[in-house]
Amino acid sequence: MLKYIAKRFGQIFILFYVFLALLFLLLDLQPGDISQQFVGNPNIPPEAKEIMVRQLGLDQPKIVQLGNHLWNYSFGMDMGVSWSSYPREVSDILFSALPRTVFLFLTATVMSFWLGFYTGKLVAWRRGTFIEKSAMVTSIFFWTVFYPWFAILMLWFFASQLGWFPIGKFISVEKWIGAPYAADDVFMLMLGTIALVTLVYGVARYVIDRSSDDPQTRRNFHRLALWSLAGIAGAFWAFSARRTYAGDILWHTFVPVLTLTLVNFAGTTLLTRSSMLETLREDYILTARAKGVPERTIRDRHAARNAMLPVTTSLVLQLAVVIAGGVITEQIFSWPGLGRALLGAITAEDIPVAMGALALIGILSLLAHLVADITYAFLDPRIRVQG
Partner 1 sequence: MADILTPPTERLDGFDPSAVLEEPLWRIRLRLSWRSFRKNWALFSDNKMGIVGILIIALFGIMALAHPVLMATVWQDHLEGGKNVYDIRAGADSIIVTKTIVEEVTDPVTQISQIEAMFLGTGVSIPEIGDTIEAPLANPAPPVLSGVDHPHILGTDPFGGDVFSQLLFGARAAFLLGAIAALSSVALATLVGTIAAYFGGVIDTLLMRLADLVILIPLLPLLIVVSGFWNVELTMLGILIGVLGGLGGTAIILKSQALSVKVKPFIDAARIAGGGHWRIITRHIIPNVLPLSFLYMMFAVTGAIFTEAALSFLGLLNIQQSWGIMINIAHTQGYTLEGLDVWWLMLPAGLSITLFSAGFFLVGRAMDEVVNPRLRKR
Partner 2 sequence: MSNSSTSRLWRLIAILAIFALIAAACGSDTTDDTSGDTTATTADTGSTDDTTADTTAPDDTTPETTPPSGEPFTYRLGMTSDITTTNYWTYYGGGDSTVYNAYVLGPPKNGLFAIDLPSLAVVPGLAEGLPAEPVAEGDNWTVTQPLQQGVMWSDGNEFTAADVVFTFETARDAALGGTWLSAYPYSEDSSPRLLSLEAVDDYTIKLTFDVKPGLGTWPHNVGVNTIMSKAYWGDVVTEALGTEDPAAVIYGADGSGDPSIGGVMFDSWEEGAFVVNAANPDYSFAGQQTTVYEDGTVEIDGEQFYGSGGGNIVTSYTDGPYASQVTYSVYTDQSAAMLALINGEIDYWINPLGVSPGLRGQGLEAGNLSVAVNPTNGMRYLAFNLRKSPGSYLEFRQAVAYMIDKEFLTQNVLQGVAFPMYVMVPEGNQKWFNTEFADGVKAKYQGLSSEERLNAAMELLKGAGFTWDVEPTFDPDQGEIIPGSGITDPAGVKVPEIEILAPPASYDPLRATASLWIEGWLEQLGVPAKANPTDFNTIVAKVWPGVGEEITFDMYILGWSLGNPALPTFHESFWHSRYLAEDNDGNNSTGFVNAEFDAAADAILAAETESAAYDLMWEAEAILAEQLPYVVLFDTPITEFFSNDLAFPFIQTLSGLQFGNGFTSLVQK
What residues numbered 70-89 form the site for partner 2, per CB under 8 A?
82-88
Please report, as residue ranges, which positions from 274 to 333 form the binding site for partner 2 (by CB under 8 A). Answer: 296, 300-301, 305, 308, 330-333
Task: Tell me the longest C-alpha to C-alpha distance in the chain.
Answer: 86
Smallest distance from partner 2 to CB 27, Å: 12
Smallest distance from partner 1 to CB 9, Å: 13
Minimal CA–CA distance to 187: which of 111, 263, 297, 104? 104
Q: Which does 277 bind (CB under 5 to 8 A by kind): partner 2, partner 1, none?
A: partner 1
Q: Does 152 interact with partner 2 (rule: CB under 8 A)?
A: yes
Q: Does 209 interact with partner 2 (rule: CB under 8 A)?
A: no
Residues that bind partner 1 (CB under 8 A): 11-12, 14-16, 18-19, 26-27, 30-32, 127-128, 136, 140-141, 143-149, 152, 156, 160, 270, 274, 277-278, 281, 316-317, 320, 323-324, 327-328, 331, 339, 342-343, 346-347, 349, 351, 354-355, 357-358, 361-362, 365-366, 369
Smallest distance from partner 2 to CB 17, Å: 28
Q: Does 334 interact with partner 2 (rule: CB under 8 A)?
A: yes
Q: Does 106 interact with partner 2 (rule: CB under 8 A)?
A: no
Q: Does 178 interact with partner 2 (rule: CB under 8 A)?
A: yes
Smallest distance from partner 1 to CB 160, Å: 8
Q: Which does 178 bind (CB under 5 to 8 A by kind): partner 2, partner 1, none?
A: partner 2
Smallest distance from partner 1 to CB 16, Å: 8
Looking at beta carbons only, is 218 or 369 nearer to partner 2?
A: 218
Smallest distance from partner 2 to CB 127, Å: 18
Q: Which does 223 bind (CB under 5 to 8 A by kind): partner 1, partner 2, none?
A: partner 2
Q: Does 258 interact with partner 2 (rule: CB under 8 A)?
A: no
Q: Which does 361 bind (CB under 5 to 8 A by kind): partner 1, partner 2, none?
A: partner 1
